Amino acid sequence: WEAARRTKPSWYQVSAKDRMIPPQNSGGWLTYHARETIELDTSHAAFATRPTQVLELITNASSASGCVILLNS
């Protein structure tokens, strides 16, 4: 058994103004291992406040085969 983050491409979104999961606690390994990482100037509710950017991240991820999508919201 091996963690998917080690073998599958991943995408990660960080919310810069998140007070539930502070950006500095988002896990450096996530941004290091992610194929694409975006940081949005928004709170924990990125889906509601930045839907276009979140949708773009999901669309990019879904177009790749065998992907793992990690969202911080």
Kind plus residue range of the DSSP H or E element containing 5: helix 4-7
Contact 8, 68 (CB under 8 A): yes
User: According to the model, what pLDDT value does residue 36 have?
Assistant: 80
pLDDT in tens, 9-28: 778 888 889 888 777 776 66
Q: How confident is the model at residue 48 (pLDDT cuts 50, 70, 90)?
A: very high
Q: 25: Cβ–Cβ under 8 A, 6 or more apart, which residues?
A: none
User: According to the model, what pLDDT value does residue 67 have?
Assistant: 60
User: According to the model, what pLDDT value does residue 68 have?
Assistant: 61
